[in-house]
Chains A and B, each alone.
Chain A
Amino acid sequence: EAAVTQSPRNKVTVTGGNVTLSCRQTNSHNYMYWYRQDTGHGLRLIHYSYGAGNLQIGDVPDGYKATRTTQEDFFLLLELASPSQTSLYFCASSEGPSSGNTLYFGEGSRLIVV
């Protein structure tokens, strides 16, 4: 089964602060994704990547950067965190494009911006 590991699991930062969320998958999947989960919105895609060095924007990319350094590692960067970015963030991976493939999710990173 796919293994996706996120860190940190919990983070509190101040408005304007700098946050990096990390994700590592160990199943040689090409595709990786960052979603945020908010009550009333379900899961919304922020960024995704189909390989090292590649980055694609999702539906809610504003205020976020991402970088895929290797096939295994995908990072989400919040350079000037705002309270609206308080959320539960999930990383996911898939063997092929998610348009036809199952997503495997990490355990989630809860971010609070005060």
Chain B
Amino acid sequence: GEKVEQHESTLSVREGDSAVINCTYTDTASSYFPWYKQEAGKSLHFVIDIRSNVDRKQSQRLIVLLDKKAKRFSLHITATQPEDSAIYFCAASKGNSGTYQRFGTGTKLQVVP
């Protein structure tokens, strides 16, 4: 089945700098790539997603890039703020209804002043 790898387990950036979190996937049929954020001691919530019909999507300070040839997608957080500190999970799934999202192992982002 699909495997999603999240390459950075921890990432530290200075406030105001950009952060980049990278994920790769194995199934070329995957077509939906969401990202979730988990703040310390809390649950996960959706932040942004991208579908395979586009290679870039932006929502305010969040940018997702998708490289289907390399089976790689990445989350870029620009102008980081302390409240961006959290664990970020990437996920991937195929488009058909019998499948479900599989998650990476998470990247703990720390934004330092």
Contact of A102 with B34 at beta-carbon distance under 8 Å, contacts A59-B1, A107-B43 already known:
yes
B34, closest chain A residue (CB): A102
Stretch at the interface among A15-23, A36-44, A71-79: A36-44
Asked if residues B44 and A48 are in contact (CB atoms below 8 Å), the reply is no
Contacts of B42 in A (CB 8 A): 107
How many contacting A-B pairs (Cβ < 8 A)? Answer: 66
Secondary structure of the B side of the interface? strand
CB distance from B16 to the nearest CB of A (A): 29
Residues of chain B at interface, number, CB under 8 A: 29
Interface residue B89 (Cβ < 8 Å from any Cβ of A) = yes
Contacts of A99 in B (CB 8 A): 32, 93-101
Contacts of A98 in B (CB 8 A): 93, 100-101
Please, what's the 1-or-0 string for A64-88, where 1 marks a CB less than 8 Å from any CB in chain B?
0000000000000000000000000
In the complex, what distance in Å separates the CA atom of A7 from the CA atom of B33? 29
Asked if residues A103 and B36 are in contact (CB atoms below 8 Å), the reply is yes
**Selected contact of B49 from candidates A42, A102, A106, CB within 8 Å:** A102
Asked if residues A42 and B100 are in contact (CB atoms below 8 Å), the reply is no
In the complex, what distance in Å separates the CA atom of A100 from the CA atom of B34? 9
Report B87-113 residues with CB < 8 Å from chain A CB.
89, 93-106
Asked if residues A42 and B106 are in contact (CB atoms below 8 Å), the reply is yes
Interface residue A61 (Cβ < 8 Å from any Cβ of B) = no
**Selected contact of B44 from candidates A40, A59, A96, A105, CB within 8 Å:** A105
Contacts of A96 in B (CB 8 A): 97
Interface residue B80 (Cβ < 8 Å from any Cβ of A) = no
In the complex, what distance in Å separates the CA atom of A107 from the CA atom of B44? 8
Interface residues, chain A, with chain B CB atoms under 8 Å away = 33, 35, 40-45, 48, 58-59, 90, 96-100, 102-108
Can you give 28 A-B contacts (C-beta < 8 A)?
A33-B100, A35-B103, A40-B105, A41-B105, A42-B4, A42-B103, A42-B104, A42-B106, A44-B103, A45-B101, A48-B100, A90-B43, A97-B98, A97-B99, A99-B32, A99-B94, A99-B95, A99-B97, A99-B101, A100-B32, A100-B93, A102-B34, A103-B36, A103-B46, A105-B36, A105-B44, A105-B45, A108-B43
